[in-house]
Structure 1
């Protein structure tokens, strides 16, 4: 084998071996490196390995040396720190839209970015309360396909469904294809949503990606989004439900300040009314999930305006009360 070819092989073998089997706690000895090179039919003397390590450093690999008992060579700085990999593994493991199979595959790839010793620390299970992994492997690829359509500004077609009580798919619009110009993807409450211009309804709408099937990029160019703002659209849609947009004014108990700042962001204005209350005006789309969230805050919140929102919330409260009044009457 020509000398130049042998040298390239040596460097490749050493680089891979160091990346996979060494870290600060597990340096590799000269003997271990020589043994690995012999396994690849690229034997090397002691002095040449020192030279090889210097070449790897010049090529950008952070090869560190520790002298003395238990010393050797190891990879110092990596593209990802171990703490960063742990965060990524936790995010993948706890993500609901990824199947267990896809989660395992992605975690395996993340483990390859660490040494085999560090990878053992990444093999852990993250418990997230009531987390149910999806069974639909296609979501992962649908998201990628939608990103491509957004980048190419192409109209897409798809079918959209919901599940009935028999766990069967029921396609909306009688099974007709949706024609949508995709504007952006939204990650909200453990679900992916596509926001875009619905060519049939002639307005911007959003759709759960895991309920979309047969996604196809058409040759048609998409509709110009103009000044449409993805961040603003997401912020206004509580729980990504459709509803009636408004400027909703609320009167809240002072201890709820943190609750509203956490949910709606630091940009909202809390106006002190007295020592025990503040008012806040929210620019949002009023929907059933929002009313449910507000109901959970109990008597600490009062809807002040607009008048139709006050009346709608009152009617919803009355409807819930009627259910329990009827049940109580039947029991009597």
Structure 2
């Protein structure tokens, strides 16, 4: 009973008190009676508060004089697990993630808000406005966990893969046949999870959208890490998650796009002012349609200089665009 009494006082303070809004002894007493069905005397509550203040207690318990009644003490427990802005970051990331269903989003946000006291939780009641629709994906959480577990154990995985057609039917590739791959790692890019993997019998490393995978199974085959392969370095050279040949790139940009280049390549990106309102970026990257379409995002403010293969790909894609409007 005594232990239950202490836990009730701790729970009351953790839920209803904060540094900005501490509780008086009488407020604690009323909450214990109404919310916990405990009728405790002032002496009983003081005993528990005294323990929380002692060296034996592991709680971040604080007491001070009331701002409105200087003859009265007020009390609160400090929530040290997360700051308010940290909880907000977690909530916003979950709200923005398209692969987390609306139902799971609400449940996760509710759980996150329980990491703090009730008054602070109310400050987190407004949610991020979502700019894009969320999607329902069966067994998505199970698939993510199965992939991470296989990577941890250096096991290969098998899965089915597919995509939507124009009738919005999800069709499996290879007539429903399984892909068997070496899973190097999982990344989160452009609001989607991707698996970076190499299919058995093929040399190229590819990217697979995990929300398009189903029936992820751990294989009985094991794999060892490739010497010299750096996953982060590999991913940094991709554009829109397209695979291709790595090459030295030279691209001219209009000066107003310097922030775009820094956002994509970082402050250490090799750039040179050309003095004509443009600058040159030199970087290693994957030559792919992903890069072509990324460059076309900026219209005439971006120009591919080399390699010749990229320049030719740009010309062909521009001709295709022009053909749509003739």
TM-score over 0.5 for the alignment? yes
Q: Does 1:53 align with 2:55?
A: no
- Do the aligned partners of 1:149 and 1:182 also contact (CA within 8 Å) in 2? yes
The answer as to whether partners of 1:158 and 1:214 remain within 8 angstroms in 2 is yes
Q: Normalized per residue, which structure has more helix?
A: 1
CA-CA distance at 1:106 after TM superposition: 0.8
Per the alignment, residue 273 of structure 2 pairs with: 272
Q: Does 1:13 align with 2:14?
A: no
2:107 counterpart (101, 105, 108): 105
Residue 252 (structure 1) shift:
2.4
What does residue 83 of structure 1 align with? 85
Count of paired positions:
319
d(CA) in 1 for partners of 2:33, 2:128: 41
1:318 aligns with 2:319: yes
Deviations 1:97-119, CA, capped at 9 Å, x for gaps: 11111111111111111112221
Say if 1:167 and 1:252 are closer, same or farther in 2 by CA, change over 3 A.
Answer: same
Per the TM alignment, residue 267 of structure 1 is displaced from its structure 2 partner at its CA by 2.2
Please say if residues 250 and 304 of structure 1, whose CA atoms lie closer than 8 Å, have aligned partners that are also in contact. Answer: yes
- Distance in 2 (CA, whole Å) between partners of 1:105 and 1:134 is 16
Q: Which residue is 1:31 aligned to?
A: 26
**1:38 Cα deviation after fit:** 5.8
Distance between the aligned counterparts of 2:235 and 2:39, measured in 1? 60
Which 5+ residue runs of structure 2 have no aligned equivalent? none
Structure 1, unmatched stretches of 5+, are 1-5, 326-332
State the TM-score, normalized to the length of structure 1. 0.88
Query: Per-residue deviation at 1:41?
Result: 7.4
Q: Distance in 2 between matches of 1:128 and 1:81?
A: 23
Match of residue 75, structure 2, among 49, 73, 76? 73
Q: Tell me the residue number matched to 1:128.
A: 130
RMSD: 2.2
CA distance in 2, matches of 1:37, 1:126: 34
TM normalised by structure 2 equals 0.89
Distance of aligned partners of 1:93 and 1:137 in 2 relative to their CA distance in 1, 3 Å threshold: farther
SS at match of 2:240: helix
Q: In structure 2, the residue corresponding to 1:215 is in which secondary structure?
A: strand
